[in-house]
Amino acid sequence: MNVDQVSPGGTEAAVKPIISFRNTCKRWGSTIGVDHVTLDIEPGEFFALLGPSGCGKTTLLRMLAGLEVPTEGRVLIDGQDMGDIPPNKRAVNMVFQSYAVFPHMTVADNVAYGLKIDRVPQPQRADRVQEALELVQLGRLADRKPDQLSGGQRQRVALARALVKKPKVLLLDEPLSALDAKLREAMRFELSQLQQKVGITFIMVTHDQNEALAIASRIAVMNKGSIAQLGTPSDLYEFPASRFVADFIGSVNMFEGKLIDDKPDEAIVACPELEPHRIHVPHAVLGQESSKVWVAVRPEKMNLHKDSDAPPSVPECPAAHNVAKGEIKEISYLGDFSIFHVQLANGTLIRISRPNRSRFDQDDFGWGEKVWVSWGGTSPVVLQG
């Protein structure tokens, strides 16, 4: 991200956004696709629009590309209002979910297609095509047809075809969805490296939380046409602003409770689902005591303990707080870590994840075993009810 602009007076100047949505709406009759979104994206960001199907993320991207016209509001690229600018005149290029690679053309001809339409002279066109193919590591495959390529290679052809026109912004619509799990992971790294190498703004639409968390510098989580929360991957995961975001980003255990004490350095929440039923949490900052709240705890922040007569001691918390007694109902072995499904006394099922640090680590706890679950005082996040 470029933040090195300095004003004549010597102070750091605000970075001018490359993309701006201003109170942007899209409706089809009574159906609302995008609902009054205002958003700035800075130059050089790898930005992700993340959310479930139908949340408005693809519609927002298509309005930016000029494939949809806003019902209200404005879309600006590098400060210019796109209201009357057709798709082919915008400083953006789009990589579609299906890649849309022409099957009858060679790799080089696919990449050169846009330059040919723009009537770029042949010698210059050949140089730019070769440069783009080397950028995506396909220089040696220039003469192949798409049916001779793997899925990952076809995706690189689509990327090269978009980048060869040197856009200010590259739009990626579910770019990895057609790939298998192993290749998706490899291509995440390649996309991130490519973005850093070319230095332009990438905007990606995805419903895959892991994908967005792995490669985006900032993420807008969308729900029902609006932005539910905007932030860095770590901020969204560690400090979700709502139950929706906490539940959508990763896995979470959620306990309903009532705020009974809110001090400057900690709060206490009574949760009837737990026994003992009090949870110590960071300062809740939620207003009046006795209000309904939800306590969210990530599975990896919870610990398992062998059954004993007394609850285990939990760091940062007094005895008998931030603990719960239960029984292991299921164990899912996932190689590098295991998921333990623990049923609490009232029947609530929670998830605890543990890394498998040794080959026999998964044997420490067994199905049907009585256990204590504990977590530290800084682990939970308190959300409004």
At 178, list the tokens: 């057609």
Which tens digit of pLDDT belongs to each residue from 179-210? 777 778 888 888 888 888 889 999 999 999 99
User: Strands 253-262 and 292-297: what pairing?
Assistant: antiparallel
Residue 191: predicted pLDDT: 85
Tell me the residue length of the chain: 385
The pLDDT confidence band at residue 287, using thresholds 50, 70 and 90, is: low
- CA end-to-end distance (rounded Å), the chain: 36
DSSP symbol at 148: G
Residue 320: predicted pLDDT: 55
For Cα atoms 103, 100, 211, give the angle at the middle one, nearest 5 degrees: 130
Q: Which residues pair with 281 in a beta bridge?
A: 267
Residue 8: predicted pLDDT: 47
Q: Options 3.40.50.720, 3.40.309.10, 3.40.50.300, 3.30.470.10; which CATH number does 19-244 get?
A: 3.40.50.300
Residue 139: predicted pLDDT: 86
- CATH fold for the domain made of 251-384: OB fold (Dihydrolipoamide Acetyltransferase, E2P) (2.40.50)
- Cβ neighbours for 297, distance < 8 A, ≥ 6 positions apart: 252, 253, 255, 375, 379, 380, 381
Average pLDDT, rounded, for the chain: 86
195 close to 135: Cβ distance less than 8 angstroms: no
Which tens digit of pLDDT belongs to each residue from 294-334? 889 999 999 988 876 566 666 555 555 788 889 999 999 88
Residue 218: predicted pLDDT: 97
Q: Which residue has the tokens 């007094």?
A: 318
Q: What is the pTM (predicted TM-score) of this model? A: 0.86
- Cβ neighbours for 384, distance < 8 A, ≥ 6 positions apart: 242, 286, 291, 293, 294
d(CA 21, CA 203): 13
d(CA 12, CA 15): 9
The DSSP line for 301-350 is GEEEEE--SSPPP-TTS-TTSSEEEEEEEEEEE-SSEEEEEEEETTS-EE
d(CA 177, CA 175): 6
Residue 200: predicted pLDDT: 92
**Maximum mean pLDDT: which of 158-167, 227-236, 268-277, 349-358:** 227-236
Mean pLDDT value of segment 13-22: 87
Q: In what order do the strands lie in the sheet with 337-344?
A: 302-306, 370-375, 323-333, 337-344, 349-355
Domains 19-244 and 251-384 agree in fold: no
Burial class (CB in 10 A: 0-12, 13-18, 19+), 3: exposed
Which uninterrupted H or E stretch holds 214?
helix 209-215
Which tens digit of pLDDT belongs to each residue from 66-114? 999 999 999 999 999 999 999 989 999 988 877 778 889 999 999 998 8
Q: Which residues pair with 261 in a beta bridge?
A: 268
| Residue 9, pLDDT above cutoff 70 | no
Residue 235: predicted pLDDT: 94
Nearest residue to 16 (alpha-carbon basis) of 25, 7, 24, 8? 7
Angle between helices 122-135 and 181-198 (to 10 degrees): 130
Residue 2: predicted pLDDT: 43
**Maximum mean pLDDT: which of 95-109, 264-278, 331-345:** 331-345
Query: Which sequence spans correspond to the domains of the chain?
Result: 19-244, 251-384
Percent of the chain with pLDDT over 70: 88
The pLDDT confidence band at residue 276, using thresholds 50, 70 and 90, is: low
At 193, list the tokens: 């490296």
Which uninterrupted H or E stretch holds 32?
strand 31-41
- Cβ neighbours for 231, distance < 8 A, ≥ 6 positions apart: 218, 219, 239
Which tens digit of pLDDT belongs to each residue from 45-69? 999 999 999 999 999 999 999 999 9
- Cβ neighbours for 90, distance < 8 A, ≥ 6 positions apart: 65, 66, 77, 82
329 close to 343: Cβ distance less than 8 angstroms: yes
Nearest residue to 171 (alpha-carbon basis) of 27, 46, 320? 46
Mean pLDDT value of segment 31-57: 95
For residue 245, give the 3-state DSSP assignment. helix
